Amino acid sequence: MYKAVVAPFCEVPVYNFLAAVLAKAAVILVEALVIRLVQTWVEKAMPEAA
């Protein structure tokens, strides 16, 4: 069911692997960006806490 929903070319394991790696890399980048934005916001909001 899952393979049929995603796409026909995902039947090849290599594409599944690459898609998983790219998805994990994207999640890591987004998490790092959010953490950096929060740190910057906290430093601006409370300079004495930095």
Mean pLDDT along residues 5-33: 81
Residue 3: pLDDT over 90: no
Contact of 3 with 11, CB cutoff 8 Å: yes
For tokens 């806490």, name the residue.
49
Amino acid at 21: V
pTM of full prediction above 0.85:
no
Domain ranges of the chain: 2-49
| DSSP class per residue in 1-50 | -HHHHH-GGGGSHHHHHHHHHHHHHHHHHHHHHHHHHHHHHHHHH-GGG-
Chain centre distance of CA 33 = 10
Average pLDDT of the residues in 18-44:
94
Please tell me the predicted confidence (pLDDT) of residue 47: 77
